[in-house]
Every structure is written in C-alpha cells, then in structure tokens.
Amino acid sequence: MDKVVSDQAEGLRRLLARNGSRVLAVTGGSTSVGCTTTVINLAAALAEQGKDVLVIDECLNEYSVSAMLGGMRGAGSFSSVVRGEMSLEAAAARHALGFSVLAAARGNRDAHTPAQLGSVLDGPADVVLIDAQLDRLGQLSALAMQAHDLMIVTRVAAQAITDAYACMKRLHYAHGIAQFRVLVNHVHSVTDARTAFENLAGVAGRYLAVSLEDAGCIAADPRMTRALELSRCVVDAFPSTPAARDYRHLAAELQYWPMRSAMSSRHHWVAPATVTAAQHADQPSAQLA
C-alpha cells in the first residue's frame, strides 16, 4: 500500500512539474564530431535517470540513430503522426534502453507547417532530442527550429573548431539564432575543452555578437568505438567509463537548463541566402586555433 501511495505521489509531482517537453536539437560543423553518438548516449542516460525520451532522427543514412543501434525496425511514420492518423506512441520504435525513436525524412517533415510540427513535440516525452540534419546551405529544418535549445558538438582540433564557428555563422545569418550551447567531444583533458570553448566563445561574441553556453565535455574513450561495433552505446555497454559518466552528467545538467521558448518563436525566419563575401571576410580562423 505504501508503495502505491508513493508511486501516486511521484506521478502527481511529475504531472505538476511538467511544463511541456524540453526539446533539444543537436548538430555540428562536420560529420565526424559525434553528433549522432551524442544523441544516442544522451537518450540512454536520460532514460536511465527516469525520463521519458523521444529521439527524432533526421539523419537517415548509414550513420543514423537506427543504423547505429543495429537497424531498429519500425522507427515510425512521421507524416502519419503529424496528420493525426497515428499516435506518437504507436509510430515510434521503442528501444530496450527505454527511449523511443521516430524517423523524420526530409520529404515528410518539410511538407508541414510549424504548428503541425510543434504538435508532434507536445507529446508525453519529458525530453525530445532531435538529431538535426542541416540542408545543403547549412540551415536547420523547420522541425529543428521548434527546439528550445540548439547544441553544437565539436572537438578539440583546429579544423573542428573552425567548422563549428562556420556552422554557427550560417545558422545565425539564416535564422537569427543568437545563442548556442557547445559540447566539446572526445577530449583528453577538461582544461583543453575549456580553452577550446573560451576561444570559440570569444570569437563568436566579437564577430557575430552571438553568445555561447558551455554544455560541458565528453572524454575521449576507446570503448566508444567498441560500443558502436556492438551496436550499443557506451552508457549501456560500458557504464563505468569516463565517457559514460560524462554523458550521465550532461543528462542530469540539461534538466536544469532554463526552459526557453522555441527558436522559431524567438526569431523571425528570413529567406535563405548565401553568406556574402563580406561575411566570409570576417572569418577569424587564426584566433580559433
């Protein structure tokens, strides 16, 4: 009886605390920085901490969320959910680690209004993670623009940092985004990660008037590769490793990030345009090294 009362009380507390799903879009300046592995491990860590997590997979290729998890079947019909023909619970594939995955091909997600896309994100999940696919101009989908936060994943390497800056520049000019969170992946020391973040934040603030927030760092860990070979994530396969601990720390921290409005409602979308020569000229590559 005591357990029933306790469970009911916990359920009531969660219900009263709920203020809609927290939506986080994750992307990076290049394909080799580990965005998809970040999404998978973060989803596993959040589920481990008792959160209802939905992963929306925009990057449908051989390195997609489903592919990395061993080819999950039935990752849903995004269009059917948006059109109200199928419930989110019925459409999304449920992984054994406790999170759901919904595939969102470009043709499906681009055919709907922001209001329709937003309705998918207003489901029962505590956290929605979008593995965001940038288009050929380096811009976000209308779906990813429904996120409350955009996290850029990078590494401690000159080219990766330069690519991250270029990515933020394109997104800033395309969507008017003035704030990003930055996660430094595959680091050998916290000091290196902090130095890389501070350099990037200083240049972004000076040249773009964009503010960056430090999302932390993930340790370089050889067991990350082994986990992928096993079609698993490091949080599940090797939970005591430094990288797994870092993902669990990030999962715990993000639950206390300020809950902002969706990016699409904070910034007026402007017609896509290529970056001008003048904008290219302010690329402070040397200062990012």
Residue 2 tokens, joined: 């005591």
**Which CATH number is 143's domain given?**
3.40.50.300
Query: Per residue in 235-267, pLDDT tens?
Result: 999 999 999 999 999 999 999 999 888 887 765
- Evaluate whether residue 16 is within a structural domain: no
- Evaluate whether residue 15 is within a structural domain: no
Residue among 278, 274, 33, 261 at smallest CA distance from 139: 274
Q: 289 falls in which pLDDT band (50, 70, 90)?
A: low
- Evaluate whether residue 5 is within a structural domain: no
Who has greater pLDDT, 10 or 90? 90
pTM of the entire predicted model: 0.86
Mean of per-residue pLDDT scores for the chain: 84
**Number of domains comprising the chain:** 1
User: Can you give the residue range of the structural domain that contains 106?
Assistant: 22-270
Helix axes 158-175, 190-208, angle to 10 degrees: 40
Residue 221 tokens, joined: 């860990």
- Evaluate whether residue 71 is within a structural domain: yes
Helix (H, G, I), strand (E, B) or coil at 188: coil
Handedness of CA 267, 273, 277, 278 (dihedral sign): negative
- Evaluate whether residue 285 is within a structural domain: no
pLDDT at 241: 97
What integer is the mean pLDDT of 139-155? 94
User: Rounded CA gap, 31 and 132, in Å?
Assistant: 11
Q: Is the pLDDT of residue 111 over 50?
A: yes
What integer is the mean pLDDT of 18-24? 79
CB of 150 within 8 A of CB of 27? yes
User: Rounded CA gap, 43 and 254, in Å?
Assistant: 12
User: Rounded CA gap, 20 and 43, in Å?
Assistant: 17
Q: Is the pLDDT of residue 199 over 80?
A: yes
